[in-house]
Amino acid sequence: MAGHKHPSYLKIYFILLALFVVSVAGPEIAEKLGLEGVSRTVLVLSTAFGIAIWKAYLVCAYFMHLKVEKIYAPYILLACLSLLLVFFFGTATDAMFSNGHNWVKSYSEEAAKEEAQSRSHGGHDDHGDGHSDGDHYGEDHHDEGDHDGDDHNKEEDKDSHEAH
């Protein structure tokens, strides 16, 4: 690849670093602002994953010189990526609907969550990033954003579980 003009690698590197900071900060900001529901999901997804894609693009285009590489190379990579999507969505049609009509799951999401929460509380305070015992994901998210609320919430779950 001697013939072409290199872009400034340092410039790309600093853009990558800036993006990296944003991608870490985004979810943290969502955390601090106590965002909920759709706005939180959008912020986390766009900062964490949207920026990951952008970063990957920058590395591919400039560090790996795909912008100036012969057309075969991006085709190879794009073909592999698109097949990956085929695999993912083909499998998702099945794996995302794994609640059977004629069988019962022995695995319980609730029980798994409780177990995970009890593990998180078990002496894990000196490790992690300060909010290690939160539940902040998707549809069954509860209103509380702080520690007390979570603990309360967990107790409630336990109660209802025992009542059954």
Partner 1 sequence: MAHQIIATSRSRTGIPTGRLAVWWVIGSEILIFGGLIGSYLLNRFNHGPSWSVEAANTNTFIGACNTFWLLTSSLFVVFAHAASEKRDAKKTRMWIWLTIMLGGFFMGFKTYEYTTEIQHGFTLFTSNFWSFYYVATGLHGFHVVCGMVIMGIIAENDIKHGRNWHRVENIGLYWHFVDIIWIFLFPLMYIAK
Partner 2 sequence: MAEVAHAEVGHDDHHDHHEPSFWSKYVFSTDHKMIAMQYMFTGMAMALIGGFFAYVFRMQLAFPGASIPFWGTLSPAAYNSLVTNHGTIMIFWVAMPVLIAAMGNFLIPLMIGCDDMVFPRVNRLSYQIFLISAIVLIISFFVPGGGFGGAWTAYPPLSAKAQYNATPFGAPLWLIAVTLEIVAFLLGGINFITTVMNARAKGMRMYDIPIIVWMIVIASILFMCSVGPLIAGAVMLLFDQTLGTGFFDGAAGGDPVLWQHLFWFFGHPEVYVVLLPAMGIVGEITCTFARKKLFAYKLILYSTIGLGILSFFVWAHHQFISGVDPRAAYLFTTTTLLISIPVAIVLFAYIATLYGGSIRFTTAMLFALAFTGEFLLGGVTGIWLGSSGVDVYLHDTYFVLAHFHYTFVPIAIIATFAAVYYWYPKMFGRKMNETWGKIHFWGTTVSFNGIFIPLFILGAGGQHRRIYNFQHYPDLAGADMQDMRVFATLSLIVMLAFQVIFIVNFFVSLKRGEKAGNNPWKANTLEWVATSPAPHGNFGPVMPEVYRGPYEYSVEGREEDYWPQNEKPSDS
Single-letter residue type at 139? E
In this structure, which amino acid lies at residue 137?
Y
Decide whether 8 or 106 has the Cβ nearer to partner 2. 106
CA distance 123 to 101: 41
- Closest residue by Cα to residue 44 from 21, 28, 20: 28
| The binder of partner 2 chosen from 10, 38, 53, 80 (CB under 8 A) | 80
Residue 29 sits in the site that holds partner 1 (CB under 8 A) = no
Size of the site for partner 2 (CB under 8 A): 22
Tokens (6 digits) for 94: 């099945």
Contact indicator for 63, 13 with CB cutoff of 8 Å: no
Cα→Cα distances 41→44, 59, 96, Å: 5, 26, 19
Dig out the tokens for 14 from the structure. Answer: 């600093």
**Beta carbon nearer to partner 1, 119 or 152:** 119
| Residues of span 37-56 touching partner 1 by CB under 8 A | 44, 48-49, 52, 55-56
Round to whole Å and give the CA distance between 138 and 143: 12
Tell me which residues touch partner 2 (CB under 8 A).
Answer: 1-3, 72, 79-80, 83, 86-87, 90-91, 93-95, 97-98, 100, 105-107, 109, 112
Binding interface with partner 1 (CB under 8 A): 1-2, 6, 9-10, 13, 16-17, 20, 23-24, 27, 44, 48-49, 52, 55-56, 59-60, 63-64, 69-70, 72-73, 76-77, 79-81, 83-84, 87-88, 91-92, 95-96, 98, 109-110, 112-113, 115-117, 119-120, 122-124, 127-129, 131-140
